[in-house]
Structure 1
Amino acid sequence: MADSTTIQRVEDLVAQARACIEQRQLSKATQLAKEAASLAPTNQNVQALVQSLSNQDSNGSQILTLVKNYVERGETKDAQEAVDLLKQHTAIPTDHINDVAHLLFDHEGKPTEIRDQLTGAFVINSAAARRQLASRIQVGTEATRYFRLLWKRGEHSFNSILPVLLDADAWPNAEVQTQAKRDAFLLALGKLLDPALEHGEWSMTLIARLLTSNAHDMAGLIDRDTFEIVLAQLDIRLDARIRAQATLAVAKLLEETREEGEATFTDYVTSTVSKGHNDELIVAFSVAASVFPLVPKTVAKLFLTPGFLEGLVPVLERNSMGQRKSHRLEQAAMELMSAACVDKACRESIAKIAYDWLDDVAHTSTEAEAASMAALVLAKIPPKPESEGSSVTHADDLSSLLVNLTLNASSPAEQQSSIEGLAYTSLQPKIKAEIVSNTALLNKLVERLRSTTTADPCTFGILTIFSNLVSYRPAQSEEQQKMSQLKNYAEAKKPDEKDSLDDDEHVTARCKTVLDADLVPVLVAAARSHYTVTILGISSKILHALAREQKHRGKLAQQGAVKLLLQTIDRLQTPTGPSSSSNSAEATIHLAAHALARILISVNPHHVFSRAMPAISALRPLTLLLTPDTSAETRDLLPVFESLLALTNLASLDDESVKDALLRNAWDPTQDLLLSTNKLVQRASVELVCNLMASPAGVAKYADGSPAASQRLHVLLALADAEDHATRCAAGGALAMLTEWDQAAKAVLEHQRGVRILLDLCTDDADDVKHRGLVCILNLVSAPGDIGEKGLEKVVQEDGVEEIKKGLRECRQPDVMAVGVEVLKAVMAKEGTKGKAITQG
C-alpha cells in the first residue's frame, strides 16, 4: 500500500495535469500523467486522467477530418461537430494544424453561418491557428485579400483578426506585429468610407481596440482625416454599437492628440454646422453631444458661441411646426442640450433661449421619444421665470408628464429619457411623494429593473429614483450645525427651510413603500450582472437607507439583503474586482458594511446564516467599521456603534469559530473603543467583550498572566465602576464569566481594587448589576485551594458580608436574593459560622 507521502504526490500530479489540460498544455499534462501512473497505476484518479488525455488526442485528431468533410463535401453536421470541439478547447495535433488552416483560410468557399463560426472558433481557441493566420497577413503577404475574405465570411471570422493582432506569440517579432496592426487599422478605416457599408461596428470595434490596446503603434496614422472619419461614426442615425465603439476611439484619440485633437474636433463641428443642411446639423450635434463628457470645457465654449443657440432655436421651431420635418434633427439637438446641461452656463443659456421650444415638444409631440427627451432636458435646466411670458412647465407638471411618459413608454429610448428625467426631478420632496404614491409607476420601475443589465442606461436611472425616495437628510453634529449657522450669518443668508415632506417620518414611510414593492429581491437577482462600482454603490446606498428603520430589517434579511451586501463587499475587495482600489469602491464597501451591521443588529443570526453563507463571512466587513478613517476630518461614530452591536449579536452564537475570528480580527480595535469618550460606543464595546468571555480564548486575554492581560483587566474593572448603568452591567457580566476560571479569579484578587469594585456592584441600585456582582464574589470565594482562601480573606477585609447584606435588603428579585444567600452561606461556611442568621440585621 502506498504511503501518505506518495498518495499526496500523486494527487498533486493529477491536479497539475488537469490544470495543464485546461490551459491546453497537453504535452506537459502527458508528462505529469506518466509520472503519476508510475507511482500509482491503479489509482482511479490517475486512470481517469489518462483516459481524459486519450480522449483529447482522439477528439483533436477528428477535427481535420470533420473540417475536410465540410469544406470538400459540404457536410454541415461535421462542421458543427468541429465547432463544438474547438469551443471545448480541444487541441488539434501539431501535424494537422497546417492542413486545417489551409482548408479554412485558403479556400474562399460560399459564405455560410457555419463556415463563419468554424473559422472564428479555430482562430480564437488555438494559439497555433493564430500563428497560421498571422503568417498570412504579415508584411509582404496578401493582407488585404485575407482582410476582405474574413469580412465577407462573417462576424466571427472578421473578429478573429483582433486576437491575432494582439497576440505577441503569433508573430516573429514586435516590428512585424506592429506593421500588421497598422495595415489592419488603415483597412478598417477604409471600410468606414464605403457609403454602402453594412456591419460598420465590426470595423469600428477593430479600430477602437487597436487604439485602446496601444495607440503608439498607430503613430503617424492618427491625423485629421482619421479623426474626422471616426467622428462621423457618432451620427445618431448609425447603429448604437458603432457609436459606442466610436466614443471609445474618440476618447483615446483626444487623449493622444490633446490640444491638436480638440482643435480638429472644433473645426469639424464648426464647418459641419456652417453647411446648414439638416443632415450636416444632425452629424454635428451628434458628435458634440457624444464628445461633451470627454472635453466639457471645449464643447461648452462651442455651445456658448454667440449666435449659435439663438440661430439654432428658430431652425428647430420651423422644423417642429405642423408636421415635424426631421425627428432626427430634434433628437440630435436635444441630445446635445442634454449633454450640455453638465455645464452651468449652458444650462442657463438653454433655459433662456430654448425653454419654450422644449416645452412645446414635451407637450405636443406625437413622437413619445422626442417628448421624453424634451422633458429630460427641462428636468435638468432651471425653470424660466413667469415674468418672461413663457408657458412655464412647473416641477409638478413636469413630473406628471414624466410619470405618464414612463408608464406609457414602448421603446428603450423613450424609457431611458423619461426615467432619467424622473431621476432628476425626484430630488424634490413633493415629486418624491407623487412617485411613491403611484403604485403602477413603482411596479413599472421594478419590472423594468428586473429586465436590465449593467450596460442598460435605465439601470442607473431607476436606482437613482429609488435612492432619492429612500435617502434621509444627512445627520449633522452639534458642531456642524453651529458651523452652518455661522456660514449663513457670514454670507447674510437665511437658513434653508426644510421641507416637511423630507423629514425622517416621511422618508421612513417611503422606505416601507419601496420595501413592500419588492425592490430588494430584484437587486439580489440582478447582482451578478450589475458588476460595476457605480451600480453596486447605489444599490448599497438604497439598502443602507432601508435598514435604518429597525422594523424593516427582518424583511430585508428575508429578501436576501445580507447575501447581496456580502457579495458586494467581496467583489469590491477582490483584487480583480471593478476598480477595487478606488475611493468610490472604498466608500461603497463602508456603506455596505454599515447596512449589513444595521440588519444584523435586529435579526437572529441563526435565521440568516447557513453552511453556504456562514456567519464568519460577515466579520471582516463589520470589523472594517471599527477602524478609523485617517483621511476623514471627523469620525462618524454611528457605523462604529452599530457594528459593535452587530458583532455582539454574532458573538452570542454557539460557534467557537466565530468567537475565535472575532478575537483575532476585532479584538484590538474593540480594546481601543473601550476607552472611547462616547458613552454609547464604550457601552457597546463592553457588551461585545462580555459575549467574548464565553470563549476560553477570550478569557485568556485577561488571565494568561501577561502585563497586557493585567492592563486589560484594569480597564474592565474600571468600566464596572462606570456611571452608565448598561456599561456597568456588561462589565459585570464579563467579570462574572471571567471569575469562573481560576486564573482569572486570581488576577482579580491581585488587582488592588478588584474585590472592592465587585462589592460595589453587589450594592448597586440596579438588581441586574447587583446580580453580576454577587456571582463574581461567589466565584472568588468558591475557587479551589489558595485562590478561594485569598478570595474569602479579601472579602472579609472589605467588610463584604455587611456590604452583601446591605445590597440584599434593597433587592426585590428572588433569583438575585437566591445568589446572595448562596454567597453568604459560602463565606460563613469558610469562616466557621455556618448556621447563624445570615440575613439578620
Structure 2
Amino acid sequence: MDESPISLTSNLEEMAKLSNVEQTQLILARLMEGGQEDDDTCRELDRLTKMLNDDTQNKDKEQSICDVIDDVCVDTILGYLDMRQPDSVRSHAIVSTSAYLKAAGEKGNEALRKFFSDRVERGTYDDYIVAFCVAASVFPIAPAVTTDIFLSEGFLSTLDPLMRRKWKSRKVETACLEMLNVASMNSQCREAIQKYCADWLEEVVDQDPDEMAKAMYTTDPEIQVSEGSIAMRRHSSAVQNLAAVILAKLRAVPSSAQQTAEGSEGRIQQANTSIEDLSKMFSTMILKDPEQGKRHSVEGLAYATIQPGIKEEVAQNKELLKALVKILSDAPAKSPLTYGALSIFVNLTRYQPVQSEEEKKMTQLKAYANATGKLGAPNPLNDDDHVSERCKKVFEAGIVPVLVTHSRHGSVASLNLIVSIISALSVTTSLRGQLAQQGAVNLLIAAVSALPDTEAQAKRTAAQALARILISTNPALVFGGTRARPQNSAIRPLIYLLTLDPGAETRDLLPTFEALMALTNLASTDDDTRVTIIRNAWSEIEELMLSSNNLVSKAAVELVCNLVQSVEGIAQYAADTPQAANRLHILLALADAEDEGTRSAAGGALASLTAYDAVVKGIVKRPRGVEVVLGLCGEKSEDLRHRGAFVVYNMVACEGDAGKMARKEIRDKNGIEILKECAKTSRKSEVVEVTVQALKALLEQQD
C-alpha cells in the first residue's frame, strides 16, 4: 500500500534528524531489502540521487556519503538497471547511477569496473543479463570508463561462443544486443564489434525465425510447441531486428579498417547482408507491424538513410513516409523514438553544404590523394534537384504539423533536428506559403528564442528558414490571424543574420541577403514595423549598404527605401547633423553605383526623401549631387528614368530657398535638355508625365 501523507511526513521528519551518512545508509538498506512497490523504490532512488547531488555540491563536508557505499551497495544500485525491472524503476536508477559516478569520481569508476568484471567472471545467464544491461545504460553517462570496460582484453571474444550456444537465453541475447547497439555509437567500439561480432550478427539477421518450427513439424507433426519458446524459434523477430540495427550502424558508418580496405582494394568486401537488405527489413517491419520493435526499426532506418540510394527508396514509398509521420506523431517527447524518426527526415531532406571554389578544389585534391587515385564524383542522388523532390514528398506526407507539435515540448537536440527539416523544406519556393499556413513561422520564431546561445548555428538556421518564408509570403496573411504572433516578433531573429557568423570558416552572405529581403517585405506594411527595424538594426543596415557584394548592397538599400516611408526613417537623412549629411552622401553615391539594381534602389529612396526641404538642400550642396540625380534621368531603363524624373520633380517643385537653389543648380547643369531627352525617349506614360511636370516647373518659375 502507498504511504499516507501523514506517515510520509513523519518519515521525512525522522530522516531529517539523522546525519547525511545515516540517511544514506537507511536509504540503501531499504533498496537492498527489495519487495517494495515500484513507486516506493523510485522514491528511495530519488532520495539517494538528492543525497548524492548534495554531497557533490558540498565542498565543506567532513565525510562523503560515498565512503559508506561499498561494493554491495553499488551492486544493489546497478541491479535496478536490469531489463527485467519495470521501466519506471530503471529510469530512476540511471539518474541515481549518474549521480553516484559524479559524486564518487574515480572510486565510482573502479566500482563500476569491478561490478562488470565480477559479473562476467561468474558467467551465469543472470549475471550476463545484469552486466550487459548496466553497460548499455551507463554508456551514455560515462562513455570513457564504459568504453575501457567494453574493449578490455578477452571480453568481446567471449561473446561469440556465448551467443552461439545451442541452448541460449533470449534475455541474454537481447541484453547483449542492447549493449552492442549503444556501444556501436563509439568508433573504437564499432571497429571491435565489426571484428568479433559481425559474423554471428549476420547469422541472427539471416536466419528464418520459422525455420526450426518447420523442421520440427516435418519430423513430428504431433509435437506441441508453444509460441515464443526457444524450441520453436532460435531467434525472435525482435532480436533479429535489434541485430539488424547494429549491422546498419556498421554498414552506414564504416570502421577505419573497412576504409583502409576500400583504399587498398578499391572497394569494401561485400557483406552477406547489405545496407539495402537491412533497410528493406526495417521498412517492412514498420509497415507490417509498427508496434513490434518500432524503436529499433526506426533507429536502424535512421542509419540506413545516410546512404543516398536508400534515401531515394524511402522517399518514393508514400505509405512508408506516412507511417513514419504517424510514428513521430505518436512518439513521446524527448524519447529515443522521436529522435530516431526525426533523424530519418533530416537525412531525407538534407542538402549538401555549399562549397566555395577553393573548397571544391581541396575536396578534389583529397580524393586524388586517396590510394585509388580517383577523383570520386559526388553521388548524383545527393544533388539539389533530388533533395528538392524528396523534400516535396516529405512535406506531402504531412510532416509540418507534427513538427510544430513536437517543437513545443521537445529537447534541444530534437529542436535542432526540427529546425534542420523546416529549413530544408523552406528552400523550395513553392512550399513556403504552405509552410507559413501550417505554423512553421511561429515554430521558427520560438526556436530562435528557445535554443540556447551554445546552439548558435541552429539559431542561425532557424532565422534563415524564417527569412526564406517571409520573402515569399504576404506578412498580412502570415501575422494576421488571431493566434498568430505579432509581426515584430520576427524582426529580432532576422536581425541575427545581419552580422556574419563568427564561427564559420567561410564567409556566406546568403543568409544576410535573405534576411534583408525579408525585412524589406515586413517594412512594406506599417510604421510600427519600420520603427522597430530602425531602432534595432540601423547601424548594421548602413554597414551592409556599403557591402562589396552587389546583391547584399542592393538589398540593404531596398530596405532603406521602405524604412524612409516612416518619420523615423526620414529623420536619419533630413536632420541637421553631420551624420545625416554623410548618410545622404552615401545614398547619392549608391545612386551612381555600377550595379543597376543598387542605382534603382537608391533612386527609389531619394524619390521619397526629396519631399523634404532639408534633403533637397543637402543634395544641392553636395558636390555632384545634382549630376547624380540628372544621371538617373538619362538611364536606358525606364524604371530608373522614372525614379530620376520623380526626384527632379520633387526638387524643382520644392518651395522656399531649397526650391530656388535646386532649380538654379538643375538649370546650370543642363537639366532642361536632359529632361527633354528623357521625355522623348520614354514610352511609359507615367515617366513622360512626371518628366513633363518637372520641365514645366523649371520653365514657369523664373527665380
TM-score above 0.5, yes or no: yes
Instruction: Compute the displacement of 1:247 (Å).
Output: 1.9
Instruction: Compute the displacement of 1:809 (Å).
Output: 2.8
- Matched position secondary structure for 2:408: coil
Tell me the equivalent position of 1:735. 606
Paired AA for residue 313 in structure 2: E
Tell me the equivalent position of 1:608. 478
2:219 pairs with 1:348: no
Number of matched pairs: 655
Q: Is the 8 A contact 1:616 1:658 kept in 2?
A: yes
Over 3 Å counting, the alpha-carbon distance change for 1:399 and 1:410 in structure 2 is closer
Over 3 Å counting, the alpha-carbon distance change for 1:391 and 1:779 in structure 2 is closer
Tell me the equivalent position of 2:663. 792
Over 3 Å counting, the alpha-carbon distance change for 1:314 and 1:134 in structure 2 is closer
Q: Is the 8 A contact 1:205 1:242 kept in 2?
A: no
Structure number with greater CO (CA < 8 Å, separation at least 6) is 2
2:511 pairs with 1:639: yes
Q: Is the 8 A contact 2:52 2:99 kept in 1?
A: yes
Per-residue Cα deviation, 1:672-712 (whole angstroms, up to 9, x for no partner): 10111111111110110011111111011011011111111
Per-residue Cα deviation, 1:468-497 (whole angstroms, up to 9, x for no partner): 101100001123223334444566654342
Bigger Rg, structure 1 or 2: 1
Tell me the equivalent position of 2:501. 629
Q: Is the 8 A contact 1:231 1:246 kept in 2?
A: yes
Equivalent-residue separation in structure 1 for 2:272 and 2:145 (angstroms): 31
Equivalent-residue separation in structure 2 for 1:502 and 1:635 (angstroms): 23
Q: Is the 8 A contact 2:432 2:469 kept in 1?
A: yes
Paired AA for residue 48 in structure 2: I
Q: Which moved more, 1:596-605 or 1:240-249?
A: 240-249
Instruction: Compute the displacement of 1:831 (Å).
Output: 3.2
Per-residue Cα deviation, 1:211-235 (whole angstroms, up to 9, x for no partner): 2344456353334333232122221
Tell me the equivalent position of 2:681. 810
Tell me the equivalent position of 1:555. 434
Equivalent-residue separation in structure 2 for 1:388 and 1:729 (angstroms): 58
Tell me the equivalent position of 1:374. 243
Per-residue Cα deviation, 1:498-529 (whole angstroms, up to 9, x for no partner): 11111100100000011111100111123322
Equivalent-residue separation in structure 1 for 2:339 and 2:459 (angstroms): 19
Equivalent-residue separation in structure 1 for 2:601 and 2:190 (angstroms): 58
2:363 pairs with 1:522: no
Equivalent-residue separation in structure 1 for 2:663 and 2:384 (angstroms): 56
Equivalent-residue separation in structure 2 for 1:490 and 1:311 (angstroms): 39
Per-residue Cα deviation, 1:147-189 (whole angstroms, up to 9, x for no partner): xxxxxxxxxxxxxxxxxxxxxxxxxxxxx6xx2x544432222
Equivalent-residue separation in structure 2 for 1:305 and 1:666 (angstroms): 58
Q: Which moved more, 1:292-301 or 1:243-252?
A: 292-301
Over 3 Å counting, the alpha-carbon distance change for 1:348 and 1:747 in structure 2 is same
Instruction: Compute the displacement of 1:819 (Å).
Output: 1.2
Paired AA for residue 500 in structure 1: P
Tell me the equivalent position of 1:280. 127
Tell me the equivalent position of 1:226. 73
Instruction: Compute the displacement of 1:451 (Å).
Output: 1.6
Over 3 Å counting, the alpha-carbon distance change for 1:357 and 1:783 in structure 2 is same
Instruction: Compute the displacement of 1:337 (Å).
Output: 0.9
Paired AA for residue 239 in structure 2: A
Instruction: Compute the displacement of 1:133 (Å).
Output: 6.4
Q: Is the 8 A contact 1:699 1:744 kept in 2?
A: no
2:115 pairs with 1:268: yes
Q: Is the 8 A contact 1:368 1:409 kept in 2?
A: no
Where structure 1 has 5 or more consecutive residues not aligned to the other structure, the ranges are 1-110, 124-129, 140-175, 573-579, 833-841
In structure 2, which of residues 442, 466, 469 is the aligned counterpart of residue 596 of structure 1? Answer: 466
2:317 pairs with 1:438: yes
Equivalent-residue separation in structure 2 for 1:625 and 1:133 (angstroms): 56
2:291 pairs with 1:291: no
Equivalent-residue separation in structure 1 for 2:385 and 2:306 (angstroms): 17
**Could you state the TM-score of these two structures normalised by the residue count of structure 2?**
0.89
Tell me the equivalent position of 2:223. none
Over 3 Å counting, the alpha-carbon distance change for 1:389 and 1:686 in structure 2 is closer
Q: Is the 8 A contact 2:159 2:197 kept in 1?
A: no
Equivalent-residue separation in structure 1 for 2:54 and 2:472 (angstroms): 50
Tell me the equivalent position of 1:649. 521
Instruction: Compute the displacement of 1:209 (Å).
Output: 3.0
2:339 pairs with 1:460: yes
Equivalent-residue separation in structure 1 for 2:271 and 2:199 (angstroms): 7
Paired AA for residue 737 in structure 1: S
Tell me the equivalent position of 1:245. 92
Over 3 Å counting, the alpha-carbon distance change for 1:279 and 1:227 in structure 2 is same
Q: Is the 8 A contact 1:212 1:249 kept in 2?
A: no
In structure 1, which of residues 708, 728, 738 is the aligned counterpart of residue 579 of structure 2? Answer: 708
Per-residue Cα deviation, 1:287-316 (whole angstroms, up to 9, x for no partner): 112222233333333323343222211211
Q: Is the 8 A contact 2:333 2:406 kept in 1?
A: no
Q: Is the 8 A contact 2:470 2:521 kept in 1?
A: yes
Per-residue Cα deviation, 1:363-412 (whole angstroms, up to 9, x for no partner): 43463321221111011114789999996111111110111122234547
Equivalent-residue separation in structure 2 for 1:410 and 1:489 (angstroms): 45
Paired AA for residue 408 in structure 2: R
2:357 pairs with 1:478: yes
Over 3 Å counting, the alpha-carbon distance change for 1:715 and 1:427 in structure 2 is same
Identical positions, percent: 39
Instruction: Compute the displacement of 1:439 (Å).
Output: 1.5
Q: Is the 8 A contact 2:334 2:414 kept in 1?
A: no
- Matched position secondary structure for 1:588: helix
| Residues 534-573 of structure 1: pairs in structure 2 closer than 5 A | 534-572=413-451
Instruction: Compute the displacement of 1:138 (Å).
Output: 4.0
Q: Is the 8 A contact 1:356 1:390 kept in 2?
A: no
Over 3 Å counting, the alpha-carbon distance change for 1:512 and 1:778 in structure 2 is same
2:242 pairs with 1:399: no
Over 3 Å counting, the alpha-carbon distance change for 1:757 and 1:373 in structure 2 is same
2:651 pairs with 1:780: yes
Q: Which moved more, 1:219-228 or 1:644-653?
A: 219-228
**Could you state the TM-score of these two structures normalised by the residue count of structure 1?**
0.74
Paired AA for residue 806 in structure 1: E
Instruction: Compute the displacement of 1:250 (Å).
Output: 2.1
Instruction: Compute the displacement of 1:734 (Å).
Output: 0.2
Q: Is the 8 A contact 2:328 2:341 kept in 1?
A: yes
Tell me the equivalent position of 1:198. 37
Equivalent-residue separation in structure 2 for 1:306 and 1:457 (angstroms): 31
Equivalent-residue separation in structure 1 for 2:164 and 2:559 (angstroms): 69
Per-residue Cα deviation, 1:798-825 (whole angstroms, up to 9, x for no partner): 1111112223332222211111111111
Paired AA for residue 606 in structure 1: A
2:147 pairs with 1:335: no
Paired AA for residue 420 in structure 1: E
- Matched position secondary structure for 1:795: helix
Equivalent-residue separation in structure 2 for 1:226 and 1:713 (angstroms): 77
Q: Is the 8 A contact 1:703 1:709 kept in 2?
A: yes
Tell me the equivalent position of 1:108. none
Equivalent-residue separation in structure 1 for 2:111 and 2:144 (angstroms): 15
Instruction: Compute the displacement of 1:607 (Å).
Output: 0.5
